[in-house]
Amino acid sequence: MSAAKSVRLDKLLANLGYGSRREIQGLARSGAIRLDGAEWPEAGDRIPLDPDLPQRLTIDGVPLDPLPGLCLMLHKPLGVTCSHKEAGPLVYGLLPERWRRRDPPLSTVGRLDKDTSGLLLLTDDGALLHRIISPKASVAKRYRVTLDRPLSGREAGVFASGTLMLEGEERPLLPVGLDVEDETHCAVTLTEGRYHQVRRMFAAVGNHVTALHRDRVGGLALPTDLAAGGYRVMTAADVAAVFAGL
Ligand code: URA
């Protein structure tokens, strides 16, 4: 068994957003940092990066934030933007303030429009992010759609054909599944993530999306008890579920 990687405590805490290395040295000297209940006064000392560190290390009596390698599921509400820098409310504003200073930073895995709600993943693990969005992984996303006008009955065929061309694009869409719920409600399942894809698909068949909600990413469903605006740290099983089929 290989020993856990070790890191300087001041570097780890600075990268988790607790302050500058100098501020963290001050915290340590003031006795605010404890490991297994004992004060850890030397912020420059190395500490084993054990996965259970957040349960063993406290700062001012509060357990350490999740270590790098963090993956979150968030129930994105309407009206917030998936961006680090645009004007108006941002998804990152739904997370603890300190998490916005993490390095590596948390990023959304793909995007949902401002006017789309539902399951949004965030991670600071760039390799995982790319694995989820990679066309090779073909991770299916399911969207519940509310339409302005009744379905005509020909949408399923058009979407499944693999020939639908969106305005301004050069390649047709990969086939998209459609499950009709009633004449103005349906679910679509797609593996690509083109800009405003679902809204533009329905525009291409002469309809208009009035509400859009993503309820699944791969085999991971948005938990019914996760309210809009809430988030949860994903377990290894949740991450595995993303790569399991719908
Ligand atoms: N398709 C859209 O049109 N919007 C989204 O947010 C996601 C998929």
CATH number at residue 98: 3.30.70.580
Q: Looking at ligand 1, which atom is closest to the CA of residue 111?
A: 6
Spatial distance between the Cα atoms of 73 and 79, rounded to a whole number of angstroms? 18
Check whether 210 has a pLDDT greater than 80: yes
Q: Which residues contact 96 (CB under 8 A, 6 or more apart)?
A: 65
Distance 117 CA to ligand 1 centre (A): 9
pLDDT given at position 246: 66
- Mean pLDDT for the stretch of residues 180-197: 97
Distance 102 CA to ligand 1 centre (A): 28
**Ligand 1: residue whose CA is nearest its atom 7:** 112
| Alpha-carbon distance values, 66 to 29, 63, 105, 143, 221 (Å) | 23, 9, 13, 30, 23
Of the candidates 179, 244, 243, 226, the one whose C-alpha atom is nearest the C-alpha of residue 72 is 226
How does strand 220-221 pair with strand 209-217?
antiparallel
Distance 39 CA to ligand 1 centre (A): 49
Range of the domain at 149: 141-217
Read off the pTM: 0.95
Amino acid at 229: G
Check whether 109 has a pLDDT greater than 90: yes
**Are 45 and 99 part of one and the same domain?**
no
Check whether 85 has a pLDDT greater than 90: no
Spatial distance between the Cα atoms of 28 and 21, rounded to a whole number of angstroms? 10
**Are 107 and 203 part of one and the same domain?**
no
**Are 145 and 205 part of one and the same domain?**
yes
Spatial distance between the Cα atoms of 59 and 69, rounded to a whole number of angstroms? 20
Q: Which residues are catalytic?
A: 113
Best mutation site among 119, 139, 143 for ligand 1, i.e. most ligand atoms within 8 A of its Cβ?
A: 143
Q: Of 27, 42, 63, which closes a domain? A: 63
Check whether 2 has a pLDDT greater than 80: no
**Are 87 and 106 part of one and the same domain?**
yes
Spatial distance between the Cα atoms of 93 and 19, rounded to a whole number of angstroms? 19
**Are 209 and 226 part of one and the same domain?**
no
- Mean pLDDT for the stretch of residues 188-206: 97
The structural domain count of the chain equals: 3
Residue 116, H or E segment: strand 116-123
Check whether 1 has a pLDDT greater than 60: no
Give domain status of residue 148, yes or no. yes
* Inter-residue contact 151 to 183 (CB < 8 Å): yes
Check whether 111 has a pLDDT greater than 60: yes
Check whether 38 has a pLDDT greater than 60: yes
Check whether 106 has a pLDDT greater than 80: yes
Quickly list H helices, 134-211.
Answer: 155-160, 197-204
* Inter-residue contact 144 to 215 (CB < 8 Å): yes
Give domain status of residue 90, yes or no. yes
- Mean pLDDT for the stretch of residues 101-125: 97
User: What average pLDDT does the chain have?
Assistant: 95
Find out whether the beta carbon of 212 lies less than 6 Å from any atom of ligand 1. Answer: yes
Distance 145 CA to ligand 1 centre (A): 10
Tokens read off for 64:
């350490």
Find out whether the beta carbon of 196 lies less than 6 Å from any atom of ligand 1. Answer: yes
**Are 108 and 224 part of one and the same domain?**
yes
Tokens read off for 83:
């961006």
**Are 228 and 203 part of one and the same domain?**
no
